[in-house]
Structure 1
Amino acid sequence: MVGLFYSSGISQQVPQDQAKAHLYYTAAAKLGHTRAQMAIGFRHHMGIATPKSCEKAGTYYRSVARKAIDWVNSGPPGGQHWVVEAYHISEEDGGIYGFRASATSSGANAVKVNPNSDANAAIDDVIEYLDLMSKKSDSKASLNLGRIYYEGQRGLERNFDLAKKYFLMVAHQYWKRDGTVIENPPSGLDRLAGKAATYLGRIYLRGEGVDPNFTKARYWIQRGIANGEPQAYYLQGLMYKHGLGVTQDSAIASDRFKYSAERLDYNPSQVEMGKIYLERGSEADVKSALHFFEHAALHNNLEAYYYLGELTYQGIGRDRACNLATHYFKRVAERVEPLTSAWSIANDAFEIGDIDTALVHYLVMAEQGWDAAQINMAYIIDSAKSWLKLPLATSPLPAPSPTFQNHNLAMVYWTRSSMQGNVDATVKVGDYYYYGIGHEKDMVQAGNWYSLAAEHSASAQALWNLGYMHENGMGLKQDFHLAKRYYDMALEVSPEAFLPVTVSLLRLRMRSAWNTMTHGPIHSIEDEPKTSQHKSIREWIKAFMADQPRYYEQYSENMFEETYHEEVAHEVYEESILDTMLLVSIIMLISALIYYRHQRQLDAQRRREANAQGQGQGQHPLNPNQQHAELAPGAGHNPANNPPFAAGFMQPGGQFQNWGAGGVGQ
């Protein structure tokens, strides 16, 4: 706690002193204090009050990750299970800047649900609906209810009795009391029943809400295996691995894990296979272990992260990479919340309105490096929230005590969250410099932070801010053309920014037009250079043929092996050939039609010339009406005056001149 006081300055007894905070954190970490190890590891990782040191950060995070994995494996078969409590309070308001204005709730990241709804009310509504459908014998609804009660979530405690009830409902809809399957089961019920049976086996195997019963566990797990459920193979593998209700047999266990890992892509089984290969120790086995761990990590498996961290940290089976290993260890440490954090205590305090208690716990976890805690801490004490607070758009937060009303403290945690890649926090830091919150205004620094947030076009807010600063020459060079570019980019990133961008562009165009008319010194809006889209037929064919090799080169043999099954690869190749043949056929058809039209026009022209010669040999003079008809458009057109290839196209004054669009043939 002494390190916390010196780091945050919230105590009136000691001033803020990062050097002393670092000293006290280090002392506690060397004594084995888990949360102090995370705090000092984060400081070395980010270079807070000390030079960045991956080696030192990795050492501390590795120590915490080992404790975390030991704690996870100390639980019942399959490891400890807990409800994830970490979350961003700001997301309940649609993000730091509100709904559709924050990077997390706009553009590609736009949430699909109403941000004004309370999370607990939302899950209550889901449960009520699923329960109604379950009473109508909807097996899928019953299975989902069972999983919700079994897994639990923030605001909903686990309830094994209700989970078991709904799993049994699904099982009884598929199996009779004697164990045989009902006649003509509905399509898909076998899969749902297999999942329900596997969960029932898991409950009895782990003793969740009941006494452990390996006989019943084996009975239900075997049913899950009969219906091809991946988790059932994994659980049976655990029973044979540890001799739970069966004779211990590592060969059978390995067989179950391998089938589930390779055939069914079940990530806990992939981790078990990784462990088996790692224990063998040969170079080939280590590579196989890496393969399984990497696949499991794609599914966010905790143990896979730990083993990848160890192998990467020690340089076993791959090149040593300290930063990557530290990243893996940090993820493991932050995932095991019951061991390394006080998220449940902080969230409970926040829910009942005890803001100061919640802030103390968020502050401790923010020091440990949790991005969500840093955001929560800064968001609650932030005094620079939107001036326009619509009651329907955001939920009002209770004000903290004067102890926490500190601009500099908010700035610290906005900055640390930004260092971990939070885009909205980066924009917030820019706002603090722009408005001079807690220190002097600094437009140059504001522009730098906005540029950082806009680096990968992730924040429409940052892009709009840059456009505004360029428009008015605030910290950045005044340039109307650049301002328009940033406004346009903001709209591309987030269509929700249509109104502010449109108003800004209207004002900008008026200013740019006045600047141009008065020969002002500011760079006005210019048309972006455009490449010519017109190509001759020869150029088009040449470009088409040149692009074909590049198109096929992107599909290497390895890509087909990893991404496509053999049948799919043949389908892709065949479709490409068909596309090419279709294109060639269309070109040939168009060419034939043009040639046909050309020949018909030549024939018509010959007939007109023959008729004209025949009439010229006659002795009867033409009356005025006949003269008018002869001089009708196109009747006396001289083909000698046509430009080359003119016969292939419609001539001025032809009989098709009133068509709204061209046509082929006559």
Structure 2
Amino acid sequence: KALQLIRYSAFQCDHVPALMQLGTMSLFNSHGFRRNLPTAMAAFERAAAHGDSTAQRYVGLLSATGLGTPGAQRDYARAIVYLSFAAVGGDTASQQALGYYHLTGIGVEKECNEASWHYARVAERAVDAFLDGPPTGRHLPSERVKLTTWSGGPYGWDASGPGNPRLSAYGNGKDILQFYRMQAEEGNALYEFQLGLALYWGMHNVTRNYLGAAKYFKRAAQRWDPNLSAEQSALSRSQIASAHATGYLGWMYWRGEGVAENVSTARSWFELGLERRDSRSMNGIAHMLDRGLGGLPADSERAFSLWSEAASRENTDAQAQLGVKLWQRGQFQQAAAWFAKAAQHDHPLALLYLGNMHRAGQGLPENCQMSIAFHKRVAELVDWAIDQPMHAAQEALRRGDLGTALVHYLFAGELGYESAQLNAAWILDQQWPIRSAEWRALAHVWDQTALALWNRAANQGNTDGRVKTGDYYYYGRGTGLRPPHGTLRGDTPDYERAAVYYRVAAETEHSSIGMWNLGYMYEHGLGVPTDYHLAHRMYGMALLTNPEAYLPIYMSLVA
């Protein structure tokens, strides 16, 4: 009955909220409503006609991905019109997509300055969202999951590059946590602190636990030995851990994480940490002094001094704050140096300022590409302003809703997320959704879509994407149009283009599979002239790059 009312309000009354609700339910398979892409497109088009910027974004993305177009063909001309209207209406995700399109020349001419303008606006909103939270900003979203990583990559554990393919990219977080816990229970301050860190930040297979983190930080902090000299404390790992624990406790009380928010208690912990020369405590007191918080009188000069010392002790937030203060004083080159240090650890504020400074030629060479690189990084890193599409995809995967995850990944791929492009391509490559009737109408374009996504990921430096793009050209997957009811693999191979991708992967990205593939092509004259010497050289390079690949390489050499 509720659905009937929503449909009536949407299509009979042109009620925009009802249209948006119906479109969202139809697109994302929510509230028990079965996915219906034509219904979603129709609802969003009606809402878009009323000027709703979110609806305009969805129409644009459905057109760009082909999910809402006849024959599932991508329509970038239409997509750009709708995304442009949405961006004018203040939709951040649409502006991010336009920035990516202008950067890469998708549907429009490549135009660095236009891309830079869009990315600068998105980065500013991203940092505003980052700072719109507890003191010093929100915690960054969790690491983007790459689906290929869970199975060791498209070719097995690290097989596309150098290294031991038997080693997982992730340790077992629960085993590490158990080891820390055993050592901590013996009264070891270092492991009490390490356990607190693991619980505070979380790790693979371990969710954040602020209450547990506070418990172990307190235990570590209490193990400070006041009888040791400053020189002895600086060399003692237990003393250093105890000092760092006081700084974390200060932050947790200030931010209300696992404990009741209490600025006075936070200040007490910071002052204790300051006595122990802890950089996090220095940074905390500097923030309080800069704004006159915690009962401290405002003292910008002392705050600057503390930020300077904390920054020299490699505190990332202090480096960013020091950069801001130097920038405000017109000391742009010194500011840029500190921003660069903080940017190495993905501090959003530092990334934003570096992008702005490169864009304006302020203390740094004017460089459009560098400006975009920094702004794109912060836009994708801090994505609360665009509803966190990667997070939404991961949540759908946890629910077992692969179709909704694919929709989110396809949309995020249009926004320029390399990990989303990789994940969507992998889902299509494995043909996971084929059992679902809702996707069968799109099956004839899966390979074309996957090829485009592998190629986009490759253009962002993803080695697996580079080799997979070569594979698609080698086997003729998605390289030309097929009738809607044709076979999934009926295109003509393009060995010359495959060789180009393998060569780049081999020579610039040190891919052992790229080397082996190129060697095979030289051996058999596929897309390149037959050259046994070059084939032997490529096989040898593959073996040197990844010794675990000895079996196929030796078989090739013997043959």
Report the TM-score, using the length of structure 2 for normalisation: 0.81
- Equivalent positions of 1:516-531 (< 5 A) are none
Residue 269 (structure 1) aligned with residue 269 (structure 2): no
Cα distance in structure 2, aligned partners of 1:302 and 1:163: 25
Q: Which of residues 85, 101, 113 in structure 1 aligns to 2:159?
A: 101
> Per-residue displacement from partner, 1:114-156 (whole Å, max 9, x unpaired)?
46x8x7xx22222222222222222222211211221234654
Residue 331 (structure 1) aligned with residue 383 (structure 2): no
The one-letter code sitting in structure 2 at the alignment partner of 1:505 is L
**Would the aligned equivalents of 2:141 and 2:381 in 1 still touch at CA under 8 Å?**
no
Q: Which residue does 2:35 correspond to in 1?
A: none
Classify the secondary structure of the residue corresponding to 1:348.
helix
Residue 355 (structure 1) aligned with residue 402 (structure 2): yes
Q: Which residue does 1:34 correspond to in 2?
A: 92
Q: CA deviation at 1:413?
A: 0.5
Cα distance in structure 2, aligned partners of 1:435 and 1:483: 20
Cα distance in structure 2, aligned partners of 1:102 and 1:273: 41
Q: Which residue does 1:55 correspond to in 2?
A: 113
The one-letter code sitting in structure 2 at the alignment partner of 1:240 is L
Q: Which of residues 293, 297, 304 in structure 1 aligns to 2:343?
A: 297
Classify the secondary structure of the residue corresponding to 2:408.
helix
**Would the aligned equivalents of 1:418 and 1:425 in 2 still touch at CA under 8 Å?**
yes
Cα distance in structure 1, aligned partners of 2:157 and 2:256: 43
**Would the aligned equivalents of 1:241 and 1:248 in 2 still touch at CA under 8 Å?**
yes
> Per-residue displacement from partner, 1:471-495 (whole Å, max 9, x unpaired)?
1111111121121121112112211
Classify the secondary structure of the residue corresponding to 1:60.
helix
Structure 1 residues 100 and 305, CA, compared in 2 at 3 Å: closer, same or farther? Answer: closer
Q: Which residue does 2:181 correspond to in 1?
A: 131
Q: CA deviation at 1:403?
A: 5.3
Cα distance in structure 2, aligned partners of 1:20 and 1:308: 34
The one-letter code sitting in structure 1 at the alignment partner of 2:500 is N
Structure 1 residues 188 and 100, CA, compared in 2 at 3 Å: closer, same or farther? Answer: closer
Q: Which of residues 296, 300, 316 in structure 2 aligns to 1:250?
A: 300
Structure 1 residues 248 and 4, CA, compared in 2 at 3 Å: closer, same or farther? Answer: same
Cα distance in structure 2, aligned partners of 1:39 and 1:320: 24
**Would the aligned equivalents of 1:365 and 1:373 in 2 still touch at CA under 8 Å?**
yes
Q: CA deviation at 1:198?
A: 0.9
Identity of aligned residues (%): 34
- Equivalent positions of 1:114-129 (< 5 A) are 114=168, 122-129=172-179
Classify the secondary structure of the residue corresponding to 1:382.
helix
Residue 287 (structure 1) aligned with residue 333 (structure 2): yes
Classify the secondary structure of the residue corresponding to 1:24.
helix
Cα distance in structure 2, aligned partners of 1:100 and 1:206: 39
Q: CA deviation at 1:171?
A: 2.0
**Would the aligned equivalents of 1:85 and 1:154 in 2 still touch at CA under 8 Å?**
no
Structure 1 residues 146 and 410, CA, compared in 2 at 3 Å: closer, same or farther? Answer: same
The one-letter code sitting in structure 1 at the alignment partner of 2:145 is Y
Q: CA deviation at 1:312?
A: 0.8
**Would the aligned equivalents of 2:96 and 2:118 in 1 still touch at CA under 8 Å?**
yes
Q: Which residue does 1:481 correspond to in 2?
A: 533
> Per-residue displacement from partner, 1:502-539 (whole Å, max 9, x unpaired)?
111111xxxxxxxxxxxxxxxxxxxxxxxxxxxxxxxx
The one-letter code sitting in structure 2 at the alignment partner of 1:200 is L
Cα distance in structure 2, aligned partners of 1:250 and 1:413: 50
Q: Which of residues 500, 504, 507 in structure 1 aligns to 2:552?
A: 500
Q: Which residue does 2:452 correspond to in 1?
A: 412
Classify the secondary structure of the residue corresponding to 2:136.
coil
**Would the aligned equivalents of 1:200 and 1:217 in 2 still touch at CA under 8 Å?**
yes
**Would the aligned equivalents of 1:85 and 1:344 in 2 still touch at CA under 8 Å?**
no
Cα distance in structure 2, aligned partners of 1:66 and 1:112: 42
Q: Which residue does 1:150 correspond to in 2?
A: 200
The one-letter code sitting in structure 1 at the alignment partner of 2:449 is L
Structure 1 residues 398 and 266, CA, compared in 2 at 3 Å: closer, same or farther? Answer: farther
Q: Which of residues 425, 430, 436 in structure 2 aligns to 1:378?
A: 425
> Per-residue displacement from partner, 1:346-372 (whole Å, max 9, x unpaired)?
112213321101111111111110111
**Would the aligned equivalents of 1:467 and 1:482 in 2 still touch at CA under 8 Å?**
yes
Q: CA deviation at 1:402?
A: 2.7
Q: CA deviation at 1:187?
A: 4.2
Cα distance in structure 2, aligned partners of 1:397 and 1:356: 7
Classify the secondary structure of the residue corresponding to 1:174.
coil
**Would the aligned equivalents of 1:83 and 1:154 in 2 still touch at CA under 8 Å?**
no
Q: Which residue does 2:77 correspond to in 1?
A: 19
Q: CA deviation at 1:298?
A: 3.1
Cα distance in structure 2, aligned partners of 1:35 and 1:112: 39
**Would the aligned equivalents of 2:181 and 2:192 in 1 still touch at CA under 8 Å?**
yes
**Would the aligned equivalents of 1:102 and 1:424 in 2 still touch at CA under 8 Å?**
yes
**Would the aligned equivalents of 1:204 and 1:216 in 2 still touch at CA under 8 Å?**
yes
Q: Which residue does 1:65 correspond to in 2?
A: 123
**Would the aligned equivalents of 2:174 and 2:205 in 1 still touch at CA under 8 Å?**
no
Classify the secondary structure of the residue corresponding to 2:155.
coil
Cα distance in structure 1, aligned partners of 2:139 and 2:223: 29
Q: CA deviation at 1:111?
A: 6.7
**Would the aligned equivalents of 1:143 and 1:192 in 2 still touch at CA under 8 Å?**
yes
Classify the secondary structure of the residue corresponding to 2:318.
helix
Q: Which residue does 1:191 correspond to in 2?
A: 240
Classify the secondary structure of the residue corresponding to 2:507.
coil
Q: CA deviation at 1:100?
A: 4.3
Residue 205 (structure 1) aligned with residue 262 (structure 2): no
Gaps of at least 5 residues in structure 2 are 1-57, 479-490
> Per-residue displacement from partner, 1:175-213 (whole Å, max 9, x unpaired)?
6xxxx6699999432211111111111111222233332
> Per-residue displacement from partner, 1:275-320 (whole Å, max 9, x unpaired)?
1121122xxx222212222222233322111111111101112321
Q: Which of residues 442, 445, 461 in structure 1 aligns to 2:494?
A: 442
Q: Which residue does 1:86 correspond to in 2?
A: 144
The one-letter code sitting in structure 1 at the alignment partner of 2:125 is K
Q: Which residue does 2:521 correspond to in 1?
A: 469
Q: Which of residues 454, 474, 495 in structure 1 aligns to 2:506?
A: 454
**Would the aligned equivalents of 1:84 and 1:337 in 2 still touch at CA under 8 Å?**
no
Cα distance in structure 2, aligned partners of 1:403 and 1:174: 66
Q: Which residue does 2:473 correspond to in 1?
A: 433
Q: CA deviation at 1:162?
A: 1.0
Highest Rg: 1 or 2?
1
The one-letter code sitting in structure 2 at the alignment partner of 1:295 is K
Residue 402 (structure 1) aligned with residue 440 (structure 2): yes
Q: CA deviation at 1:248?
A: 1.2
Cα distance in structure 1, aligned partners of 2:346 and 2:212: 28
Gaps of at least 5 residues in structure 1 are 385-395, 508-666
Structure 1 residues 404 and 96, CA, compared in 2 at 3 Å: closer, same or farther? Answer: farther
Q: Which residue does 2:40 correspond to in 1?
A: none
Structure 1 residues 196 and 434, CA, compared in 2 at 3 Å: closer, same or farther? Answer: same
**Would the aligned equivalents of 2:102 and 2:110 in 1 still touch at CA under 8 Å?**
yes
Residue 422 (structure 1) aligned with residue 458 (structure 2): no
